[in-house]
Structure 1
């Protein structure tokens, strides 16, 4: 019986199988590949890590020292706009956001609110974007963002730690 990786042209079948797997299984498979295959580690590093000196961020103050770690995660989540961003493509105009969440314009939805409708929903935002605004700048949902700047990743010390499961013996 042939070994699956020795069979000719099983790539299409493997790609289809990958599409049909739950994310937790794919994560486990990727971790296994990275642990046991130097080539797998090299490929994963190319996609998931970036050299520290390729990271573009807001210029640091003179007294801050550059970390001695040569590699960092290539993708981060911005604490301002809450979007994922590529650290090597960050710039002073990459992040666009509002300081406050949008709110219902109660005057605009006066009749609906009086009738007891819950207008503070995604459906209403899509149908009537003019009925919402950002208190930080007064702009509506269809206007430009009032803040533009560098993406900022959460400080690693502030990130919640994953809990590990403890086996009960």
Structure 2
């Protein structure tokens, strides 16, 4: 089989099947497993640079912007997103009564959001749909929050040991 045919297969096979195949190959090939570990897990050097522990997943999905990010390159302004709700911009749609009356032509559709981003605004900052996020920070993931608790950074928070001790007393 040619490389072209195999690449075509990769594009058309399910992600679940690919994951299963990768697991099987890694179980039988130390060399292949080492390649995946090198590519997908944090290493000592990257871990030291970005305060991540070696052997952790290198690529995660941000809970805020929903983009995949490299934890070794996650800096204070890597993520930007809106925390508010998207609303229609009534000033933009003022002459379009058809949207209010015709259910087959819904105003708040994916088509309208893509075609008319100026017709929608974020309630958190009053900027239009395609404006950069008004919150800029590091990407966040569940693993970050778990590590914060383990490292004691939430020690005085609602779930930290200080708060738990106060509830007991």
TM-score, normalized by length of structure 2? Answer: 0.70
Q: How many residues align?
A: 141
Provide the alpha-carbon RMSD of the alignment: 2.7
For 1:35, the equivalent position in structure 2 comes to 27
User: Which segments of 5 or more consecutive residues in structure 2 lack a partner in the other structure?
Assistant: 147-169
By percentage of residues, which structure has more helix?
A: 2
Which whole-Å CA distance do the structure 1 matches of 2:81 and 2:145 have between them? 24
Runs of 4+ with >3 A deviation: 9-20, 155-158
For 2:61, the equivalent position in structure 1 comes to 77
User: Which segments of 5 or more consecutive residues in structure 1 lack a partner in the other structure?
Assistant: 1-8, 60-65, 159-169
Aligned pair 1:104/2:88, yes or no? yes
Aligned pair 1:115/2:107, yes or no? no
Kindly report which structure 2 residues correspond to 1:1-150, keeping only aligned pairs within 5 A, or say none: 11=3, 13-51=5-43, 54-55=46-47, 70-110=54-94, 111-116=97-102, 117-150=105-138
Aligned match for 1:151, one of 123, 134, 139? 139
Which whole-Å CA distance do the structure 1 matches of 2:144 and 2:135 have between them? 24
Structure 1 pair 105–112 and aligned structure 2 pair: CA distance change class (3 A): farther
Greater relative CO, 1 or 2 (CA 8 Å, sep 6+): 1
